[in-house]
């Protein structure tokens, strides 16, 4: 699921003001790792959402990126 979809899915599913979205990647040795979390503000403000979506898109382009970790419970 692309960054934009993940962000808005989480935005619609919660009423908290901030959240962390993690990701999974494969390192240079081929070992699957859990990456750092991306802090996102759960707001519909275009300027704010563009900021963290662009941060997530940059992460998606990094070598070894596999997918975003998302859950309605966490």
Residue 13 has pLDDT above 60, yes or no: yes
Higher pLDDT, residue 63 or 5: 63
pLDDT score for 49: 72
Considering all CA atoms of the chain, what is the largest pairwise distance in Å, rounded to the nearest integer? 40
Checking if the pLDDT of 74 tops 60, the result is no
- Dihedral sign, Cα of residue 74, residue 32, residue 35, residue 25: negative
Instruction: Judge whether 15 and 64 are in contact, CB under 8 Å.
Output: no
Section 10-22 average pLDDT: 77
Locate 29 and state its tokens: 């040795």
pLDDT of amino acid 26: 96
State the average pLDDT over residues 45-61.
80
């Amino acid at each position: 699921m692309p960054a934009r979809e993940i962000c808005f899915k989480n935005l619609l599913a919660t009423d908290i003001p901030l959240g962390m979205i993690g990701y999974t990647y494969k390192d240079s040795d081929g070992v699957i790792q859990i990456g750092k979390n991306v802090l996102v503000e759960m707001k519909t403000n275009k300027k704010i959402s563009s900021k963290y979506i662009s941060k997530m898109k940059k992460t998606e382009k990094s070598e070894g990126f596999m997918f975003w970790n998302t859950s309605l419970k966490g």
